[in-house]
Amino acid sequence: MILTVTLNTALDLTYTVGALVPRSSHRVTDVTERPGGKGLNVARVLAALGHETVVTGFAGGATGEVVRGLLAPLPGVRDALVPIAGATRRTVAVVDASTGDTTQLNEPGPVVAPAEWSAFLSTYDTLVGEARAVALCGSLPPGVRVGAYAELIRRARAAGVPVLLDTSGEPLRRGIAARPDIVKPNADELAYLTGAREPLPATRDARRRGAHAVAASLGPDGLLAVTPDGTWRAAPPAPVKGNPTGAGDSAVAGLLSALVEGESWPERLRRAVALATATVRAPAAGEYDPRAYQELLDRVTVTELVAAA
């Protein structure tokens, strides 16, 4: 199975309005709610691709119960969330139907007590021993120390399990020094980490900081990967309009699923970009369109930039 870790789980609410106008009232035309947080989004896509997936992290309060209730019927996803006293956060996405733009509001998350962190570590160590790969995803809730991902990476590496890190800020800086197998930053995260805005130099610099490989998101332009086997750029066949919510999480699912299947880096990138693009095109935020994904797989362009990195 593949293990995904979401320390700051959420209940994702998506509101659709005709047009989002500041300082005015809006009639919501559609409401959806899903179990959220980056790792839960990754798990949902992995399961849709046919991979048995276990989710862990924290869940608490009435919102946490809703999240667990929404997880329960998902085929291929097993709930191993650790209960806490605090209430799981909510995130609200407001979709402007007139433009397709999305405005995101993210709550900070509950405070995690030391005893709750210890309980999580016990659960994590057990699950890592059963996993073929681990994804560490998203922000840290209050009470969890900034070096938490670095500790989880070291524990996964000690168990011989490949680990992907997808976070930002200081947790990314600390985590990358623990030598994860893959890091998937976006442009802003790369800039924070390296101080560089040019994608290729910044991605190379990020890899020098400890990651085995770096797959950097270029937004609608695809992915850039600097790996021990070479450097590649993967791009969708054409610009896509839609809701980008969850596209990065779908890319993580593509990278991880292809990794455990033994695919080469070009094929990992092809799958990741096709999934991300199909997610942007899907009518519901954070879902991916299976037909679009299959169509895009053969149309994603993967170009080798240099022979080795």
Enumerate the active-site residues.
249
Four-residue CA torsion sign, 20, 28, 6, 240: negative
How many Cα atoms are found within 13 Å in the side-chain-facing hemisphere of 38? 22
* Runs of H (alpha helix) within the chain: 38-48, 61-71, 114-128, 148-158, 169-176, 187-194, 199-208, 247-260, 265-281, 290-297
Over the range 120-150, which residues count as b (16 or more CB within 10 Å of their CB) and which as e? Answer: beebbeebbeebebbbbbbbbbebbeebbbb
In terms of Cα–Cα distance, which of 107, 109, 90 is closest to 31?
90
| Distance set, CA 6 to CA 146, 244, 281, 304 (Å) | 15, 20, 25, 33
Residue 235 tokens, joined: 């791009």
Residue 227 tokens, joined: 């790996």
Rounded Cα gap, residues 67 and 64, in angstroms: 5
